[in-house]
Amino acid sequence: MSGGGGRPAIRGRDGLATTEARDLALDCVEAGIEAGHPATVVSDAVSLDGDALRVADETYDIGEYDEVVVLGGGNAAAHVAAALETTLGDRIDRGVVVTDDPTGTESVTVREGDHPVPSERGVEAAREVRALADEADEETFVLVAVTGGGSALLPAPAEAVSLADLRSVTDALLDSGATISEINAVRKHISKIKGGRLARRAAPATVVSLILSDVVGDDPSVVASGPTSPDGSTFEEALSVLARYDVDAPTAVTSRLERGAAGDTAETPGPSDPLFARVTNHGIADGTTVLDAARDAARERGYGALVLSSRVRGEAREAAKTHVAIAEEALATGDPVEPPAAILSGGETTVTVRGDGEGGPNQEFAVSAALELDSVATAQSESGIAVAAVDTDGSDGATDAAGALVDEATVEDAASARAALAGNDAYPYLDARNALLVTGPTGTNLNDLRVLVVE
């Protein structure tokens, strides 16, 4: 995969693009990922004219400050930092960002952490980010890169909570089927940096965040657990998430949450906190960035294109059935779009883990979709539908695959496909059928992209 906003490379693409429908699905995936790369979106959203720094629809006079600092974390944080350096040059004095997808920078130090489960090196890197934020004063202009994955990559366990505790509750929540908003409500309340606490550490500096959203609804307090955003969630809510999903959290975690719910530990800073008077959060890219580019790619090849939603959520395998049903309807009746067409969606589906296999939401979506396509092909001789589902950051779940590409020929034995789903073991099933899409780290992290091409 290109690290500079160039055309993404899907490993073994020629062998995957065996039909026109499959080739178009790959085109849409590539176009979406490319459009969401920080090199692209930052250059569109940020410009400098003398001392006038434009970020989205606001302009800041950086000549009024003694120092410009870049902080942040997430899968795409290093690429955001590199893009900021391209625009601001030597106007950036220093900085630290944490990522699992490093790239070359000059003024900003790039530290590596781990995702989706936090690590010791992430803790050390987050400590550097906190230390630099602590040094900021009212003469400091702080640019913060906030991207998906920041919750795991910026781990800063609260007092009495160990890294092992944080890892344990993170693993349990990721396996539980909880939404990212629910997961992050817990993580914000056991952290020294999440839930607006990074902004609090940098106060009274001027803080301007560039947010690349990977969450449904693009709530800035949820992206990377909202390190610079006002937080409306509470300790009580965090406790209710653990109870709702029957998560057996470590004692240190539940004790902290219970102390907070009782009022013995300070809440995260909320919308009325005066510290946010000097904080601005700009959303510069999200799932629609990816969907718009994928739609354009389909239309350029003469296909109709329909975006279902940028907010798809729920169990991946169930969402796949609905998506295939819509594609079937288009094939049979021309509604809601006349073939040939690409049907697109974004958002973030989840997996409730019951087996001990290997995979991710997009891979489970693909296996479930392939099962549906197999049944359609059995009834109609052929379906004429290809399905691609990817996580735009290049890593679906904890695997090295971005997702998968399937069609009516993928499933030869339905029982094997059902067994893969039952064991949450989609990766080896798809790998054996040359259906995995492998890109490596993309530099983009704007949630999932699903493409159904109907011939």
* Farthest CA pair distance, the chain: 70
- For residues 11-16, give the mean pLDDT: 96
Q: Quick one: pLDDT at residue 89?
A: 97
Per-residue pLDDT band at 4 (split at 50, 70, 90): very low
- Structure tokens that stand for 352 in this block: 């409730």
Model confidence over 278-308: pLDDT tens digits?
999 999 999 999 999 999 999 999 999 999 9
Whether 108 and 70 have beta carbons less than 8 Å apart is answered as yes
Backbone angles phi, psi at 325, to 5 degrees: -60, -40
Q: What pLDDT score does 380 carry?
A: 53
Check residue 21 and give left, alpha or beta (phi > 0: left; psi -120 to 50: alpha). alpha
Tokens of 170: 């993170």
The fraction of the chain above a pLDDT of 90, given in percent, is 94
97 strand-pairing partners: 72, 110
The confidence score (pLDDT) of residue 376 equals 62
Residue bearing the bigger pLDDT, 15 or 6? 15
Name the average pLDDT for the chain: 95
Report the pLDDT value the prediction gives residue 152, as an integer from 0 to 100.
Answer: 95
Nearest to 135 by CA among 192, 99, 190, 96: 96
pLDDT tens sequence across 178-229: 999 999 999 999 999 999 999 999 999 999 999 999 999 999 999 999 999 9
- Encoded tokens for 293: 């580019």
How far is 61 from 28, CA to CA, in rounded Å? 39
Amino acid at 92: I
What number of other Cβ atoms are within 10 A of residue 258's Cβ?
15
Q: Give the CA distances from residue 452 to residues 328, 375, 417, in Å, rounded to whole numbers and listed in that order.
A: 10, 16, 20
Sole residue written with tokens 């629809």: 57
Flag whether pLDDT at 35 surpasses 80.
yes
Mean pLDDT of the 117-139 span? 97
**Window from 30-34, 115-119, 149-153, 288-292 with minimum mean pLDDT:** 115-119
- Do the domains spanning 13-37+287-454 and 40-285 agree at the CATH topology level? no
Q: How many angstroms separate the CA atoms of 3 and 442, rounded?
A: 7
Cβ(291)–Cβ(218) below 8 Å:
no
pLDDT at 261: 98
CATH no., domain 13-37+287-454: 3.40.1480.10
Full 3-state SS string of 105-143: CCCEEEEECCCCCCCHHHHHHHHHHHHHHHHCCCCEEEE
Q: What is the mean pLDDT of residues 352-374?
A: 96
pLDDT confidence bin for 5, thresholds 50/70/90: very low
pLDDT digits (tens, 9 = 90+) for 84-97: 999 999 999 999 99
| Domain layout of the chain by residue ranges | 13-37+287-454, 40-285
Asked if pLDDT for residue 110 goes beyond 60, the answer is yes
Q: Give yes or no for residue 2 having a pLDDT over 60.
A: no
Domain 40-285, CATH class in plain words: alpha beta
The C-alpha atoms of residue 449 and residue 390 are separated, in whole angstroms, by 5
